[in-house]
Structure formats: C-alpha cells, structure tokens
Structure 1
Amino acid sequence: MELLPLKGQHHVSAITANAKENLHFYTEILGMRLVKKTVNQDDTSVYHLFYADEKGNPGTDLTFFEIPHAGSTYEGTNSISMTSLRVPNDAALDYWLNRLTEYKVEHEAITEDSGRKAIHFRDFEGQRLQFVSDEHNKGVAGGKPWDKSPVPAHVGVVGLGPVRLTVSRPDVSARVLVEVMGFREIAGYTEQDQTIRVFETGEGGTGAEIHLLERNDVQRERPGRGSVHHVAFRVENQEELMKWVDHITASGMPNSGFVERYYFRSLYFREPNGILFELATDGPGFEGDESFETLGETLALPPYLENQREQIEANIKPLHTAKKD
C-alpha cells in the first residue's frame, strides 16, 4: 500500500471562552474571514468557529471551540505551544508590528525563527501565536486573503505556518513523525538557549513544518482558554485517508478510525506524548451548504445534525455575524 505524503498543515483547533471577543479579534484585528459558524459535532452545545483565507482553503484554517467556563491555561510541556500565521513577506511584518501596537495586542519585536522573520504575539486569552514571513518560502503555497477584510490583502494572513510542539520526550514524538507519518527532519535552530528540531512533509516550506522543542523543567500543560486542542494535517482525498486509517492502525497506534465531518473527513490519534493529531481531507470544503459570498453568516449544520437545529440553537448563545457588504 503506497501512501502519498501528508501535504502540510490542514487546520489548528484551539479553545476560547468567549466567542464574541474571539470573533472580534480574529476578524476585525487579524483580518481573517469567518468561513464557517457551526458547532462541535461531538458536543453540539459548543460553537466551532473557522477563520481562514477567503474561502477556507485547506492549510489556512485556525478554528476555535467556545467553552464558556474554560479555566486558565497553565502552560507546560506535552502541548501544542505555538501556532504560526503566514504573511506574504518581510514588509508585511512591519505593517503587523504597527497594527498590533495600535490595537494594544501583547507582542514582541521582529525576530528570526528558523531563517524566517517572525513576530510572537498573544490574543486576548493568551493564545500563543506568531506571524511568520513567507518571503523565502519555496514549499506549499499559501491561500488568498479575503478582499473584504479590514486588513489589506497584500499584507493579510495567507495560511498556517509552522506548528510548535513542546514535549518531554522528543525522540518518541520524532519517531512517530518520521517513521509513521513520513516527515523528514531537516534542520534545527536555537531560541533562548533551547534547541528546536524542524521536521517537514510533502513539498515542505512554511506551511508544512513541525517544530519540536524539549522541555523537562515544567509540568504537563493544563489546557484551558487560550490553549490548542489539536493540529490537523492535509490528506488529498477520502481514498487516501482510508489508506492512512489502515496504516495508523497497523502501526499499533490507537485511533478514531474514519470520522465524517461533512466539510472534510478525518482520522484522530495521539502521539506518545499525548498530543492529539488529526489527518483531514482537502475537501469537500465549506461551500456545500453556503455560497462563497455568505460564508460564516448563519449557523451552518451538517445534514446529519439538521434535524436537531431547534434544540441546538436553543442551547447556544446567539453570535451575531453581520451581513457583509
């Protein structure tokens, strides 16, 4: 059975305690488009919000589950400890430095991570983020910013960049990345006297890297608002996903098997340090139940949840997503 390489990041899913403020931050400040307002299919009392490029191209989605009573995150090891957002070039970082200052967003100065210029910053709940420049990217292409965004398209977010994992046992995580998932270890760099190992898949580049950091001096992270739930990687289609189901099962790793998510199809499993990975198909995408022009404007439910709409809407707090011009 021949497996095609994973194509890079598909999406990152995180936790917020306040959907209204989350919507404001990611659409009005970061300029991403809300391409889908739906619910967590495993707990329909919880919003699931998808922010992305103009139509939610795979590799551009940063998603959030709203858990209103989520406590604080106690940061630590065995966690997804940094999510990167790609911007077109180095000049775009100057724009973002000014914008983050203007909106009083906690941030650092422009630095360099693994040969790319970057800005580390946090959202209103302490979510660990960075803008990373695509100036020298030769790998996976980015998406296309929405032309109705409050942020000019030429400096807008074009997708997900490297995702950092902080783990207590890096060698076992590396073994899964390389021997099971087909990543290649390509480099390393130092940040604050800590060595970070770089792995890539598929075409490589900014949108196809995992950065692995060892930390044994802190406790296991206790997740809450401002933490990341899981990272997903791109698979071409459902046929290819089924091959991965067989492959992951044959490797001896417990997994979810095939899961229907309507907007894509998925497989979930945990690597040995307990971090949740998902493999997700590139399609069908977000325009199956909404037009491109109206993405994210109403509560979208997959067909198998539509008969529960009245109950679902009664159990979630209204979230107003204004009509776009």
Structure 2
Amino acid sequence: MPTPIVGLHHVTAIASNPQRNLDFYTQVLGLRFVKRTINFDDPGSFHFYFGDDAGSPGTILTFFPWPGATRGSHGVGETTATAFSVPAGSLEFWEKHLLAHGVPAERTGQRFDEQVLSFADPDGMRLEIVAHADAAPVQPSRFADIPAEHAIRGFFGVTLALADAGRTAQVLTTMGFPQVAVEGNRTRFSAPGAALGNHIDLVVPKNPSYGRMGAGSVHHIAFRTTDDAAQLAWKELLTNEGLAVTPVQDRTYFHSIYFREPGGVLFEIATDPPGFALDEPVESLGEGLKLPPWLEPKRAQVEKNLPVIELKKGGAQ
C-alpha cells in the first residue's frame, strides 16, 4: 500500500467578486491570504489561497474568483458543505462574531459527537464550523483579530451529496478512509488519527437532484500525500481500481493528480511539498502576485488583465 492519506490537502471553490471574497475570508473568518497567483488553466483570472499563518496542508481553501460568475446550485455529485475545525467551547464566540458581521449563522445541533454552526459565504458556499475536543494546535494568521483560542485550525472535513453512496464508499475505503459512523442518511468515513480534514461525510438526499457549478460551488477537493513517490503509488493503485487518473500536474506549490469518483465529485491527490514558501517568505505570503516560470515573461500583460484588489490587514471593521 502507498503511504497513507491522512486528510484533506485543500478545497477549491468558485467565487464571483475577488475583493469581496478576499475580505470575507481574511477579515471575517480570520484566515491568512497565503498566495495570490493565477488560474493556470485560465491566466486571465486569479487563484486565491487562504489558510493558517504558514499555509499548512489541511488548512487551505482556494478560490477561482471569476467576476460576474453566476451563482451555482447545490445537488448530488457535489461537495455541499466545507467544515472548519475549532476547539470545543468556541461555537458561541463564532456565532456572535458572524452575526455581528451580518452573516446569518445557525446552530444545527449535534452531529455525531460534535456541535455544528452552519452559514454561507457571500456567494452562497455552504460552510460549517465544528467544535470538537480533538482540534489541532493553532497557527493563526498574524493579521487576524480572532483570539487565538477560538481561531480556525483548518478543515474538519467535507460533506458530499450523492445519488448512491455505495461505489464512493468503496473508493474512500481504498484511500484509507474507513466507515466509522452512520446517522440517518449521513455516513462518515474517517482517516485514522487526529489530522486536519480527516472526515468525509456522504449524504444521500431523499429526493436527489443534480446541482449546477457556479459561484458558491466547490470545484474539487484534494487529499494529502507525502511526496511524489507516494503520489505515483496512489496513481497506480487507483488506476488499477478502474479510475481514470490524470497524469501528474505541476501546480508549483504542490503536484497533483485528478480523478472523478463514481458519484461525480472531482478528487485530487496533492503532495505536501514544495509548499507555499517556495517563492516568497512566510512573513510576506500573499502580498505579491506570483506567476509560474512559464508566465513570468508575460507579467505586465497578465497584471493588466487582472482585477485590482487590496489586501487589508487586521479584522473586519
């Protein structure tokens, strides 16, 4: 077997207004703006990365902010909720904090052994904050005003909506996420240990309908692997399981392979290295536009085509 996958590496979603997206995740949720670069498949648009102070795997939420993108709709074959991890006892702080900044938030009760706070970002992306005893140590953004004891640690996990969970369950088990609990129409698969992003919930709606990708939709979820050799071992194993896995893609800060799991959700397996400090020091992460080497000679034209954004430091006023 390849080196075990211990949890999520990142989640990538679609936004509409770049400045609004940047402000919400840094000013309201207190995440660090880890990297501003471009969408390698669409160099005329940004690719934003948010995370903890160092841009650690398991904390990274990324966005393709496409100005004017129409809002998507949620349905089966999609990631329908992305959950952040906070310590037990922090939910009251987050409920008050979100409501104070005009973000409707609802306590949705206990799910398995955790308390859950549900809300949406400005594009309608469904987010959750999960309070639990095993929250990881914190590396809060140095620019956030969120008290360190309540700061988001990284991912707790994601929820996938599926018309039929059977074959997806088999893939998750193969990837080292065995089934650990069932509650109603929700089944949880968890990688062993207390790593970030190690919970994948599968939900089968009573009346399933397919969603439409757009602003507020999750484009794909990425799982962590330790290095290139482990990634190639996973590529071979999953290909032998009948999945159509892509060749390795160089994403500068990690290397990636992709495949669509049987329920329709796009999965990625990404390497932990090289990491986000590859081309700028941790102290100034996200402060300048970073381009892949093959686009650097066209920097002036790329910058001209991108929207103007302002990175604000400190919490929302």
**Fold conserved (TM > 0.5)?**
yes
2:50 aligned residue: 51
Q: Which residue type is aligned with residue 186 of structure 1?
A: V
2:119 aligned residue: 121
What percent identity do the matched residue pairs reach?
37
| 1:157 aligned counterpart, secondary structure | coil
1:273 aligned residue: 263
Distance 2:291 2:153 in 1: 26
Moved more, 13-22 or 108-117: 108-117
Distance 1:143 1:11 in 2: 17
1:84 aligned residue: 83
Query: Are the equivalent residues in 2 in contact too, given 1:11–1:233 (CA < 8 A)?
Result: yes
1:252 aligned residue: 242
1:104-144 Cα shifts (integer Å, max 9, x gaps): 1021026212211110111111110000113245xxx4551
Match of 1:304 among 280, 294, 297: 294
Q: CA deviation at 1:204?
A: 5.0
Distance 1:145 1:112 in 2: 26
Match of 1:288 among 274, 278, 289: 278
2:155 aligned residue: 160
Tell me, yes or no, if structure 1 residue 61 matches structure 2 residue 51.
no
Query: Are the equivalent residues in 1 in contact too, given 2:154–2:196 (CA < 8 A)?
Result: no
Query: Are the equivalent residues in 1 in contact too, given 2:7–2:198 (CA < 8 A)?
Result: yes
Matches within 5 A, 1:157-196: 157-179=152-174, 181-190=175-184, 195-196=185-186
Distance 2:49 2:112 in 1: 28
Matches within 5 A, 1:1-150: 2-87=1-86, 89-109=87-107, 111-136=109-134, 141=136, 143-150=138-145
1:207 aligned residue: 197
Query: Are the equivalent residues in 2 in contact too, given 1:6–1:202 (CA < 8 A)?
Result: no
Task: Say what the alpha-carbon RMSD is for the aligned residues.
Answer: 1.6
Query: Are the equivalent residues in 1 in contact too, given 2:71–2:215 (CA < 8 A)?
Result: yes
| 2:197 aligned counterpart, secondary structure | helix
| 2:128 aligned counterpart, secondary structure | strand
Q: Which residue type is aligned with residue 119 of structure 1?
A: L
Q: Which residue type is aligned with residue 57 of structure 1?
A: S
**4+ runs deviating over 4 angstroms:** none
Query: What TM-score do the two structures reach when normalised by structure 2?
Result: 0.94
Query: Are the equivalent residues in 2 in contact too, given 1:52–1:60 (CA < 8 A)?
Result: yes
Q: Structure 1: any 5+ residue segments left out of the alignment?
A: none
In structure 2, relative to structure 1, the CA distance for the partners of 1:4 and 1:264 (3 Å cut) is: same
Query: What TM-score do the two structures reach when normalised by structure 1?
Result: 0.92
Moved more, 211-220 or 280-289: 211-220
**Number of corresponding residues:** 314
